[in-house]
Amino acid sequence: MDLKKAALALRSIGLPAAARTAWYAFIKDQRNRFYAARRRTGKPVPPGALQEASPVSSGARFRFAQAELEAIFLAQDLVRLSWSPGTAPAPYALARQEWPPVETQLSQKDEEYILSSQNLEIVISQNGSLLFRQPGGDPLRSELPPERQERKLNHTSRDNAGMAAWVHNAHMQAEECIYGLGERAAPINRRGGAYRMWNSDPGGSYDPGKDPLYLCIPAYLSLHRGGSCLVFYENSYPASFDFRSAEKNSPSAQCSTVIFEGGMLRYYFMAGAPDQLLERYTELTGRPSMPPRWALGYHQSRWGYKTEADVRRIAAGFKEHEMPLSAIHLDIDYMDGYRVFTINQQNFPDLLGLSKDLAEQGVRLVAIVDPGVKVDTEYSVYQEGRKDGYFCNLPGGKLSLGPAWPGWSAFPDFTDPFARHWWGEQYRKLLDLGIAGFWHDMNEPAALAAWGDMTLPMATQHKLEGCPGDHQQAHNLYGLLMNRASYEGLRLLNPEQRPWIFTRSGWAGVQRYAWNWTGDTNTSWPSLRQTIPTLLGLGLSGLPFSGPDIGGFSGDPSAELYLRWFELSAFLPLFRTHSATGLADREPWVYGEPVTSIAREYLRLRYRLMPFFYSLAWEACQSGCPLVRPLFWLNPAEPSLWKVDDSFLLGDAMLVAPVLEESITTRVVRLPGAGQPPQSDPLNWYDLWTSKLVEENGDIVVSTPPERTPVFVRAGAIIPMESGRQLALHVYAPVGDMTETTALRLYSDAGDGFGDWRLDTYRLSAKEGALEIIRQSRGNYPFPYNRVTIFLHGASPALAVVDGKGMGLKGRRLELENFERIVFIPPGSQTLSDILPQEN
Ligand code: GLC
């Protein structure tokens, strides 16, 4: 820990608590040493020779001399592989376990077996190496035989099967890129790095390069010239994923190495384009349900809003500065001595009154909830949890305690369904006080240790749905299951409203329950830049909703750094300012002009873009495709886009290229499509701010005055914006002719609850300068706007034909109540019938 970090830690927790963290680190080390000493590790064992292959429903089983492989197709392009021995995982990650049978064939050719579905072939060789390809296609992935290292407990007769460690090597192709692995402070392409799977609080704050962080996911997407595939290891044990050897070794020996410290080697392989992979992966591990609409607005937070008066002052500040606001967050200070599910009555004497007053202004309260429960025999949550055995124990039955904000704390065992149910019920207290959202922190779980691993001792016992295990197995699941407990509790307690939770930790499948934020980032320009690859990686790991602390957690950002971070975040799913305790105020007006006015403009733009964000959120909930996407999404076959991580796509219509360096007045932006070999459907872009079509090719240089984050809109897209009950449809004309394409799917509903919805799909086509827009709607929710204005960018028609009737334009603008079909006719065109598609 460096001095800066030590100072931050002391400021955060004070001296007596610091002493406790030292004592805890000492005893935890002792415990872990004793626990580890009980193990011995055997020699690596390969599967040995293949002895028998037999078809089973949807797949096949292969018996090797020293291991067994079962390969079951769950869909044509999705197969589950399980190498045993080793304990099978509890299916916490999975949203779907029943799959219809898939027709498969097992054939033998020379020494090899081929197991195939219609879309995928696996070649299984005599020694256990596997090759995956699409029928007749290039190899997508080629694996070496996995090796197993037995780890025996020295003195118990307990089944040791779970203690096998697995080493899994796969060849890597020359230009292969690797994405995902959850939250990583690494470049978007994870190749060249080594990553640990062990959810960790870095303590204090973190910089780019820090690994691991709070939310690890053992899944990665690989992209190379032969195609793309995704591998998800369903194994919660600590693991390492090493993609470095590929850089050191000769091309023939380029391998990635994955090591799991226990459990069965179970993984899912899926093949397809990146969007199909995300769809499949989230079919398997689940998708979020629709968030309440307010969650996509702006959130103001800091560690240090200590009283009701503070909160009212902040809300009033937003009003006074005419800045829209959706939520204020209450950090740990709202609690009574940091006891979770209690209120500090002195500082918040009327929390219900406060939440009601704020709700009238459209502002929600979000409260932090930590898993550590203060050891205090007078405190009901502790009493209940203790009495009913909901907390984690050490072997021998003593509570596994660790220091958290309230001092010594017990930790609920969320792998116990009864504990989950009990925890879910606790939220009633906060719901009754009008708390609308929940902020789950410290759920790695973090126990404050002055050095070493900031978590519970490895010997800590977990119920794991009736197949007990230790903290090695359960640690990575802890955040996932805390979120599950709360989500399920909130659904029961408040069935008419959508739960809104955001979390620091999680594991595969956590997207079903919660959004995420990137934790305690350092306040620095490199951390601002890191936001993009971190969010892109989360999105490619199945988490579509996330965002950073604007300005960084740890320090006081300069006005310029704050503003650039704010501008970037206006285009991210979670748009929230937050900071550590003891720092200067950080509301968007504290820097004075011009920051205040620019921040206000971005806030207003964000709220105008609400239908765009809401529709993207709906899409993410339908398909698992993230809101924030890498540039290669639009053209995965183009290698020059594979490593771009200083800009991102928002949906498939907008490209955001934020300012990521201090004092720069220009930046380079790579626009997909521009300057590349002609494609069937070339991509063209408009500058959002000037509406000008970008004429240059390749990397372009754009100017970046303080008020401008470069943003581009794809030609052929429609961007919806709203102002009250008025909808603006910004139509960005395609360059040249374009066959009918979906330009916008606009989703609307009441913004919360589970009632009616509607989807308006706008299809756009262009022919000889004429533009046609067709709207089709589904669903029962009434159209929420009473006025629609169409703004044309890149086209100046002479006339519009709206549902068969001619209408005049005001410049490039057309105002209507609504429409089903519009044709814009260019000046000087011949007859209408030449241009309009034939009516039936
Ligand atoms: C952790 C969180 C941070 C929060 C603080 C106090 O450091 O990551 O966001 O402000 O705890 O609750």
pLDDT in tens, 469-479: 999 999 999 99
pLDDT of residue 7: 66
444 belongs to the catalytic site = yes
Is the minimum distance from the CB of 519 to ligand 1 under 6 angstroms?
Answer: yes
pLDDT grade, residue 208 (50/70/90)? very high
193 pLDDT exceeds 50? yes
Q: Which residues pair with 722 in a beta bridge?
A: 727
307-320 pLDDT, tens digit each:
999 999 999 999 99
Instruction: State mean pLDDT over 457-485.
Output: 97
Query: From CA 611, how far away is CA 748, in angstroms rounded?
Result: 8
Task: Please tell me what DSSP assigns to residue 308.
Answer: H
Is the minimum distance from the CB of 331 to ligand 1 under 6 angstroms?
Answer: yes
Closest CA to 368 of 406, 405, 330: 330
Taking each helix axis as running N to C, give the angle between helix 595-608 and helix 610-623, from 0 to 180 degrees, rounded to the nearest 10. 50
Is the minimum distance from the CB of 648 to ligand 1 under 6 angstroms?
Answer: no
Query: From CA 374, how far away is CA 832, in angstroms rounded?
Result: 76
User: In terms of pLDDT, which residue wins out, 674 or 338?
Assistant: 338
Query: From CA 436, how far away is CA 547, in angstroms rounded?
Result: 19
- 445 alpha carbon to ligand 1 midpoint, in Å? 13
- 635 alpha carbon to ligand 1 midpoint, in Å? 39
310 belongs to the catalytic site = no
- 60 alpha carbon to ligand 1 midpoint, in Å? 49
520 belongs to the catalytic site = yes
pTM of the model: 0.96
Query: From CA 617, how far away is CA 627, in angstroms rounded?
Result: 7
SS3 466: helix
Q: Which of 299, 441, 444 to mutate to test the pocket of ligand 1 (most atoms within 8 A of CB)?
A: 441
Kindly name the residue from 121, 520, 587, 619 that is annotated as catalytic: 520
- 584 alpha carbon to ligand 1 midpoint, in Å? 16
Q: Which residues pair with 298 in a beta bridge?
A: 575
Is the minimum distance from the CB of 303 to ligand 1 under 6 angstroms?
Answer: yes
Query: From CA 207, how far away is CA 216, in angstroms rounded?
Result: 17
C-alpha distances in Å from residue 158, one per residue of 44, 152, 153, 264, 398: 21, 9, 8, 17, 21
- Ligand 1 atom at minimal distance to the Cα of residue 368: 12
pLDDT of residue 154: 54
Length of the chain: 840
- 303 alpha carbon to ligand 1 midpoint, in Å? 7
- Ligand 1 atom at minimal distance to the Cα of residue 519: 8
719-777 pLDDT, tens digit each:
999 999 999 999 999 999 999 999 999 999 999 999 999 999 999 999 999 999 999 99
Whether the CB-CB separation of 130 and 21 falls below 8 Å is answered with no
- E strand or H helix at 73: strand 68-75
Q: What share of the chain is helix, strand, coil (3-state, %, to 5)?
A: 25, 30, 45
pLDDT grade, residue 839 (50/70/90)? very low
Whether the CB-CB separation of 277 and 228 falls below 8 Å is answered with yes
pLDDT grade, residue 224 (50/70/90)? very high
Kindly name the residue from 308, 441, 453, 549 that is annotated as catalytic: 441
- 625 alpha carbon to ligand 1 midpoint, in Å? 29
Is the minimum distance from the CB of 333 to ligand 1 under 6 angstroms?
Answer: no
Full 3-state SS string of 85-153: CCCCCCCCCCCCCCCCCCCCEEEEECCEEEEECCCCEEEECCCCCEEEECCCCCEEEEECCCEEEEEEE
pLDDT of residue 675: 47
* Percent of the chain at pLDDT exceeding 70: 94
